Amino acid sequence: MAVWKKPTAIDSDDELLNVAIVERMRATPQNFQTRKDYRLLAPNKALGNRLVVVSWILTLVVWGLVGAMQRISIPIPESWDLSILPAINALLNTLVAFCLVGAVVAIVKLNRADLHKKLINLAVLLSILFLLSYVSYHLTHGEVKYGGEGAIRKVYFFFLISHIALAAFSFPFILLSLSYAISNQFAKHRRLVKVAFPMWLYVAMTGPIVYLMLRPYY
């Protein structure tokens, strides 16, 4: 006589094995490679909410610091030569652009979420170094005036104004998209990246262009 068995959420050896694999992978995220692997991670909304608050605080601090550069000048000893910093800034921006393009190729073409993560982390590190170098130079040297005339002057100011405006506007979007990635809220991360990424890439690419056009006047 057949005995009826109440169905359960896990009702076979295969399902038990699949659950065991998922739990093991969740415990070892360092072994993840593909987007599918990372989707196994449970969203941490509490961490995400805290990171969102931190992102907005950092945004206000950076906006205030950059704005203060127009009114603050810090004297430095004559022996301190910081004239190389603009060139370093341009190099850092260039490297950020390469990292961003590589990160897109890694996640879209290669399905390598682990490589994507490493390249984005590197882009963030390079951007932090850029910000420190940029602020250090402008707090000690002030603003450099562009001396070009005619049509090239309009081109320069187009790149300069769009570069500065998008750098400021994109900053919170970049931080928020990183916050959602760190907290495993990948749906929100993907939606925000569609806005943040093009602006971040444009800023990284136009930075070296502005430097090269301004270089003769340093």
Query: What are the start-end ranges of the H helices in 75-150?
Result: 85-104, 113-141
Question: Is the pLDDT reported for residue 66 higher than 60?
Answer: yes
C-alpha–C-alpha distance, residues 75 and 93, integer Å: 27
Would you say 196 and 174 are in contact if contact means Cβ atoms under 8 Å apart?
Answer: yes
C-alpha–C-alpha distance, residues 173 and 178, integer Å: 9
CB-CB neighbours of 63 under 10 Å: 13
Which pLDDT score is estimated for 37?
73
Which pLDDT score is estimated for 23?
55
What does pLDDT average to over the chain? Answer: 84
Which pLDDT score is estimated for 39?
74
Pick the more confident residue, 22 or 93. Answer: 93
C-alpha–C-alpha distance, residues 63 and 83, integer Å: 24
pLDDT tens-digit readout, 156-176: 999 999 999 999 999 999 999
Pick the more confident residue, 2 or 15. Answer: 15
Question: Is the pLDDT reported for residue 3 higher than 50?
Answer: no
Place of tokens 């005995």: 3
Q: Where does the pLDDT of residue 125 fall: very low under 50, low under 70, confident under 90, or very high at 90 and above?
A: very high
Q: SS3 of 33, please?
A: coil
Q: Where does the pLDDT of residue 10 fall: very low under 50, low under 70, confident under 90, or very high at 90 and above?
A: very low
Pick the more confident residue, 125 or 38. Answer: 125
Which pLDDT score is estimated for 28?
56
Which pLDDT score is estimated for 20?
46
Would you say 80 and 216 are in contact if contact means Cβ atoms under 8 Å apart?
Answer: no
Which pLDDT score is estimated for 135?
87
Residue 22: exposed, middle, or buried by beta-carbon count in 10 A (0-12, 13-18, 19+)?
Answer: exposed
Lowest mean pLDDT among 35-44, 49-58, 73-82, 128-137: 73-82
Tokens matching residue 129: 């170094």
Residue type, position 183, single letter: S
C-alpha–C-alpha distance, residues 194 and 35, integer Å: 17
Which pLDDT score is estimated for 24?
52
pLDDT tens-digit readout, 186-214: 999 999 999 999 999 999 999 999 999 99
C-alpha–C-alpha distance, residues 216 and 205, integer Å: 20
Q: SS3 of 32, please?
A: coil
Which pLDDT score is estimated for 146?
84
C-alpha–C-alpha distance, residues 96 and 125, integer Å: 9
C-alpha–C-alpha distance, residues 193 and 154, integer Å: 31
Q: SS3 of 72, please?
A: coil
Which pLDDT score is estimated for 154?
93
